Structure 1
Amino acid sequence: MPEPKTRRRGTELEQAILDAAWAELRDVGYARFSIESVAARAGTSKPVIYRRWSNRAELVFASWGAQAPIEHFSPDTGALRTDLLVLFTRIARRADAMMNEVIAGVMSEVFRHPEVAELLRARLHGAPVAAVVQTIVERAVERGEIPPVELTPRAGRLPFDLVRNDSVLCRAPMSNDAIVELVDGVYLPLLRGLALARDDG
């Protein structure tokens, strides 16, 4: 006789739902994405999903965040520039994985539903990329590459904002040349400017 299936709980169940949501997004896009379809893929029920995520936009954000997460990512190549190149590349590849139609679909929800707009604002303000940038900058200061920098919250999450803007406008995977341009032409000058401003202050 076949062994009975073990009931999934906790993180195992959540991961199954997030994987199912991501597969559904890739197959049908945001416009046709539904909690019911995700539940069927994950082998669970709609109430189980709604106990964790209150709407489909929230579930989409969560499934996106589970792809190549930034939280525990901390490049340490030994140089500020190459650390930033690795970070920007990581963010860009995450943006590439999140299809433009999905981004457009979520943004349309933002304009129609204030609760989704608030969710997006909260996720942007709490984006883990700022903590990663802070670690990269602190290491660069310790190596003597740059003077101490006071990294504002907006400056800390700017790598994410720059990549997201390029991805949405160009509607194509970001090239390596574009990543180099953002690092060399925008972000490194910004960090050096912040360091000078701190010294002058």
Structure 2
Amino acid sequence: MLRDEITTAIRGAVMHELAAVGYSRMSIEAVARRAGVSKAAVYRRWNSKLDLVLEIVAAVAGQRLLLPDTGGLRSDLEALFLIMSRALRHKLASQIIPDLLAEAARNPQIAQTLQGVLRVNQQAMSDVLIGRAVERGELPATAAAETAVDLIVGPLYWRLAVARAPFHPAELPRLAAAVESALRVACGAPVSDERGVDLVTKA
């Protein structure tokens, strides 16, 4: 019977090794050494380095975010972006994500796994936010979920994970307002400024 504490130690070691040296330079020997176990303990659980990384990364990437219902689409977006920004700026995540994205361009299995779990996770998140907005009457029932995922996740993900540019929490309200407006335009809902002027009609 496999001991849970050893499995947990190996998983933690994998994440730290990925952050320290990247997928291409990571070895089972280094993972075992960091976890304080034998190589055999690793191979009893996973057949290869690729299997090991795919399972663990899929599990981490597939974790669902708990999204609070703030009562409005814009404030929901602010809450989501705050959670996302903290996750993407995490010491390990900020080092692992760019490396795996680069590796995915060379390794179809990594690409397929990342795209699969991330898309499912992002779609579920979008369904929650858009579903709430539709129920409140903020967006029409015809709102396109596929487009919503790109509009919601894209800007912050690009900023922090791809461009790796600085991001301050004070920017969250402006980002949330911009994404809310983009979602409204994408689904044909009215977009108004602070004075209640319909910006789409005015344009």
Assess same fold via TM > 0.5: yes
Which stretch has the larger CA shift, 51-60 or 12-21?
A: 51-60
Matched residue, 2:44: 48
- Aligned-residue Cα RMSD (Å) equals 3.1
Separation of aligned partners in 2, 1:103 and 1:22: 11
Retained in 2: the 8 A contact 1:149–1:195? yes
Q: What amino acid does structure 2 have at the position aligned with 1:82?
A: S
Mapped pair 1:85 → 2:81:
no
Pairwise mapping of residues 27-176 of structure 1 onto structure 2 (< 5 A)? Answer: 28-30=20-22, 32-42=25-35, 43=37, 45-51=41-47, 54-55=50-51, 57-58=53-54, 61-62=57-58, 64-65=60-61, 69=63, 71=64, 73-97=66-90, 98-126=92-120, 128-176=121-169
1:172-187 counterparts in 2 under 5 A? 172-185=165-178, 187=179
Contact 2:142 2:187 in 1 (8 A): yes
The answer to whether the Cα contact below 8 Å between 1:58 and 1:119 also exists between their aligned partners in 2 is: yes
Counterparts of 2:171 and 2:55, CA distance in 1:
30
CA distance in 1, matches of 2:172, 2:26: 31
CA contact (8 A) 2:77 2:176 kept: yes
Cα offsets for 1:12-45 (capped at 9, x unmatched): 655443223223344x242643333223333362
Instruction: Select 1:21's aligned residue among 14, 33, 36.
Output: 14
For each residue in 1:49-82, what CA deviation from the matched residue of structure 2 results, as whole angstroms up to 9, or x when unmatched? 424973465256246437xx3x151221112111
Partner of 2:183 in structure 1?
A: 191
Relative to 1, partners in 2 of residues 1:34 and 1:177: Cα closer, same or farther, differing over 3 Å? farther
Gapped regions of structure 2 (runs ≥ 5): 190-203
Tell me the percent identity.
Answer: 28
Note the C-alpha offset of 1:89.
1.5
CA distance in 2, matches of 1:63, 1:104: 18
TM-score, structure 1 as length reference: 0.72
8 Å CA contact retained: 1:53, 1:59: no
Shift of 1:165: 0.9
Q: Distance in 2 between matches of 1:14 and 1:166?
A: 34
Q: 1:179 to 1:193 in 2, by over 3 A?
A: same
Do the aligned partners of residues 175 and 73 (structure 1) sit closer, same or farther apart at CA in structure 2, a change above 3 Å counting? same
* 1:8 maps onto 2:29 in alignment: no
Q: Cα offset for 1:134?
A: 1.5
Whole-Å separation in 2 of the counterparts to 1:110 and 1:138? 32
Q: Please tell me whether the aligned partners of residues 96 and 173 of structure 1 are also in contact (alpha carbons under 8 angstroms).
A: no
Between the two proteins, the alignment pairs up a number of residues equal to 184
| Contact 1:130–1:157, Cα closer than 8 Å, also in 2 | no
Distance 1:13 1:159 in 2: 38
